[in-house]
A and B are shown apart, each in its own frame.
Chain A
Amino acid sequence: GQNIDQPTEMTATEGAIVQINCTYQTSGFNGLFWYQQHAGEAPTFLSYNVLDGLEEKGRFSSFLSRSKGYSYLLLKELQMKDSASYLCAVRDGDYQLIWGAGTKLIIKP
């Protein structure tokens, strides 16, 4: 079956670094996405990986290993506004997106 696993909740300190992991088992693979969702708001796009390796975008980086069915989102220099849920999603074919339940990240001062 199709499955995406992420930790339910993580806590980190302002200014620190946090890594949010995502493992997936899907029938196909055509890209992995990370979205950020603040409470009560819409998900917004953060990153996209389709080839193995690291994609860096400012304070956020995303890594993909297709052979291991694994990705992580790395957030550096954490700010209070980074408190949100982080959703991992895999496109398993031409257009079907399979979503994880999201990781709620709590930032403490």
Chain B
Amino acid sequence: DTAVSQTPKYLVTQMGNDKSIKCEQNLGHDTMYWYKQDSKKFLKIMFSYNNKELIINETVPNRFSPKSPDKAHLNLHINSLELGDSAVYFCASSQRTGGDGANVLTFGAGSRLTVL
């Protein structure tokens, strides 16, 4: 029943490791996103995909690589983890990319990454 599901919910790892977070949506939405929420609670867009095509790629280190095998899935792989990568990562989806109407975001429950 979960609309946007992401795994794992918690991730504790050492600096320098590589980790992945997976996201799936069953809403039939065309657009998916990765957001980072830091300790100050700002939500920052990292990536957005529309129907498997990358449309937003903010200034994010290239250690972060998104992959969208199909429009229902958007995974995030992080290489060589650093202390500053510790945050909560939210996956989200919306019906479309365009700005007409509300085009509301539906968020996953978040993945809390702690880098030691």
Contacts and interface: CB of A to CB of B under 8 A. Distances in A.
Interface of A: 30-31, 33, 35, 40-45, 48, 85, 87, 89, 91, 93-97, 99-102
Contact of A96 (B56, B106, B110): B56
9 closest pairs, A vs B, by CB? A42-B107, A48-B102, A99-B43, A30-B99, A94-B99, A45-B104, A102-B41, A95-B97, A101-B42
Contact of A42 (B48, B90, B98, B104): B90
Nearest to B109: A42
B109 A41 contact: yes
Given A85-B41, A94-B99, A95-B99, 16 more contacts: A30-B99, A31-B102, A41-B109, A42-B107, A42-B108, A42-B109, A44-B107, A89-B43, A91-B99, A95-B97, A95-B103, A96-B56, A97-B105, A99-B44, A100-B42, A102-B41
A27 B90 CA distance: 25
A101 B42 CA distance: 5
Contact of B45 (A48, A94, A97): A97
Contact of B99 (A40, A85, A93, A99): A93
A85 B88 CA distance: 15
Interface string B30-50: 010000000011111100100
SS class of chain A's interface: helix, strand, loop or mixed? loop
A33 B110 CA distance: 20
A9 B31 CA distance: 32
Contacts of B56: 95-96
